[in-house]
Amino acid sequence: MEELKSTIIVISSKVRTCLHFSHRRDQIEQTGLYDASQRDNRNKATNIFRLTHELDKTCERKDQLTSENKKLGGV
């Protein structure tokens, strides 16, 4: 009977250890997903900045061409 109690205690301890490591694994997986999403977010923000800059340059060029066309049309 004493051996059975001892075995139950050991098994309970092992179950708690398993649950702890399972929880820790889940935390590590979540951290990995968070890091990946942060990298993706930074890449997208950089791309948005680049595209906004290109759009500004394109709008400037369009305005220049519109002005030149008006000058040429008025001649």
Count of domains observed in the chain: 1
> Does position 75 have pLDDT exceeding 60, yes or no?
no
Q: Please provide the size of the chain in residues.
A: 75
Residue 11, domain extent? 1-75
Half-sphere exposure of 39 (CA within 13 A, CB side): 6
Angle (CA) 13 17 22, round 5°: 150
Over the stretch 31-68, which tens digit does the pLDDT of each residue have?
999 999 999 999 999 999 999 999 999 999 999 999 99
Q: What is the pTM of this model?
A: 0.63
Give the pair of three-digit tokens for residue 35.
């890091």
